[in-house]
C-alpha cells in the first residue's frame, strides 16, 4: 500500500492474525512463517495482521520486530493488505516501528501507551503524535488486555485525527459496539478484534475482523465470514456454532497456545510459544484432539488432520 488513500480502500474483510512460529531454541522460524502466510493468501484471505498480541510481540526484541516486518512484507509483495503491530510500552520503539511499518507499505497498528493513570487527554495526544509518522496512516487498537479500555466517546475523538484510518475494537460489549457502529461507520474502517464473537459486530456494520484461530481453522472461519458478508446469516450462524467447543478451549487455555497446538494437529507448523507462555498441557491436548476430530468428521468445516 503506497499511501493513506489506498490503505483506507483496502482495509476491509477478513485478516488472519498470523502467529509467530518459534523454534524450540526460541528463534523465529521464518520458513514456517512464510508457509503459514502463503496458506491463508491462497485460501483468499483479505489481509494479515503481523506481530500482534497473539503474535507474541511483547516477548520480542526491537531488532526481531524490525526483522519480522521486513521479512513479511518481502514475502507478501503487496498481494494482500498487511497490518503491522507497532505497539510498545516504550513510546520510542512505538514511534520507530510505526514509521517503519508505513515505509514498508503496511498499516501500523497502535495501542494506547502501557502506563498507569494516564488521562484521556494524554492518550489523545499520543495518537496525534503517532498518526503523522506513517505514510499509510494508523490503525487504533482498543485493547482492553493492556489495562486500558478506550471509551466510545474517546474513540470518536481519535477518529477525527488526520491519519487514523481505522479502529480495531477489542471491547466487544454490545453497548460499545452499538455506539461505535452507529457513530463511526463510514467515517473510518471498523474491525472486530476477536473471531470468538464476531457475528454481532459484523451485523452491526463493522468492515471486517481479525482472526487468530484462522491459523488452525482457516477454511471454516473464512467460510463463516464469507457467508455473513453475502448476507447469509443463517449459514454463518451454523458454521460458527460448529467450533463452539474449540472456542471454549481457547478461552480456557489461551491463545496463541491453543492455536499452535491445533495447527500441529493439522500438520501446520505454528512452532512453539515463547516464555512466559507455555505449551498447553497433555490434558488440554487430549481435549483439543477430540474436538479437532469431531470438526474433521463434519465436511462443512473443511478441517483435515495430519
Say if residue 114's pLDDT is above 90. Answer: no
Domain 4-300: give its CATH code: 3.20.20.70
Kindly indicate the confidence band of residue 145, based on its pLDDT and cuts at 50, 70 and 90. Answer: confident
CA distance 1 to 22: 28
pLDDT in tens, 179-213: 999 999 999 999 999 999 999 999 999 999 999 99
Task: Measure the CA angle with vertex 51, ends 46 and 54; round to 5°.
Answer: 90
Q: Break the chain into its structural domains and give their ranges.
A: 4-300
Say if residue 71's pLDDT is above 90. Answer: yes
pLDDT in tens, 211-246: 999 999 999 999 999 999 999 999 999 999 999 999
Report the largest interatomic distance among the alpha carbons of the chain, rounded to a whole angstrom. Answer: 53
CA distance 142 to 112: 8
Q: How does the average pLDDT of the chain come out, rounded?
A: 96
Kindly indicate the confidence band of residue 116, based on its pLDDT and cuts at 50, 70 and 90. Answer: confident
φ and ψ at residue 49, rounded to 5 degrees: -120, 120
Q: Percent of the chain scored above 70 by pLDDT?
A: 100
Average pLDDT rounded to a whole number, residues 286-304: 97
Residues ≥6 apart with Cβ < 8 Å to 260: 19, 21, 215, 270, 271, 272, 273, 279
φ and ψ at residue 76, rounded to 5 degrees: -70, -40
HSE (side-chain half, CA atoms, 13 Å) at 297? 6
- Pairing label, strands 13-18, 208-211: parallel
CA 120 to centroid of chain Cα atoms: 25
Residues marked active site are found at 141, 168
Number of other residues whose CB lies within 10 A of the CB of residue 200: 14
Q: Check: CB of residue 218 under 8 Å from CB of residue 235.
A: no
Kindly indicate the confidence band of residue 287, based on its pLDDT and cuts at 50, 70 and 90. Answer: very high
Amino acid at each position: 500500500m503506497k499511501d493513506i488513500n489506498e490503505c483506507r480502500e483496502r482495509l476491509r474483510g477478513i485478516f488472519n492474525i498470523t502467529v509467530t512460529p518459534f523454534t524450540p531454541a526460541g528463534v523465529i522460524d521464518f520458513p514456517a512463517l512464510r508457509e503459514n502466510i502463503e496458506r491463508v493468501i491462497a485460501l483468499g484471505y483479505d489481509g494479515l495482521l503481523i506481530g500482534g498480541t497473539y503474535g507474541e510481540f511483547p516477548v520480542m526484541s526491537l531488532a526481531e520486530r524490525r526483522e519480522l516486518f521486513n521479512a513479511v512484507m518481502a514475502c507478501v509483495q503487496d498481494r494482500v493488505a498487511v497490518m503491522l503491530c507497532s505497539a510498545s510500552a516504550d513510546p520510542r520503539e512505538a514511534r520507530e516501528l510505526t514509521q517503519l511499518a508505513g515505509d514498508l507499505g503496511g498499516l501500523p497498528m497502535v495501542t494506547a501507551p502501557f502506563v498507569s493513570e494516564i488521562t484521556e487527554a494524554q492518550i489523545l495526544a499520543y495518537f496525534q503524535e503517532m498518526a503523522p509518522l506513517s505514510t499509510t496512516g494508523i490503525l487504533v487498537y482498543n485493547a482492553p488486555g493492556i489495562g486500558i479500555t478506550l471509551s466510545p466517546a474517546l474513540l470518536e475523538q481519535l477518529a477525527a485525527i488526520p491519519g487514523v484510518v481505522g479502529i480495531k475494537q477489542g471491547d466487544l460489549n454490545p453497548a460499545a459496539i452499538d455506539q461505535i457502529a452507529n457513530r463511526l461507520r463510514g467515517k473510518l474502517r471498523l474491525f472486530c478484534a476477536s473471531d470468538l464473537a464476531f457475528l454481532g459486530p459484523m451485523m452491526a456494520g463493522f468492515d471486517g475482523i481479525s482472526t487468530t484461530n484462522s491459523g488452525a481453522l482457516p477454511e471454516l472461519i473464512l467460510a463463516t465470514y464469507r457467508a455473513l458478508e453475502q448476507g447469509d446469516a443463517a449459514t454463518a450462524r451454523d458454521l460458527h456454532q460448529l467450533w463452539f467447543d474449540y472456542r471454549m478451549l481457547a478461552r480456557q487455555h489461551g491463545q496463541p497456545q491453543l492455536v499452535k497446538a491445533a495447527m500441529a494437529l493439522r500438520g501446520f507448523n505454528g512452532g512453539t510459544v515463547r516464555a512466559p507462555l507455555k505449551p498447553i498441557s497433555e490434558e488440554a491436548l487430549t481435549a483439543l484432539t477430540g474436538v479437532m476430530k469431531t470438526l474433521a468428521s463434519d465436511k462443512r468445516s473443511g478441517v483435515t488432520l495430519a
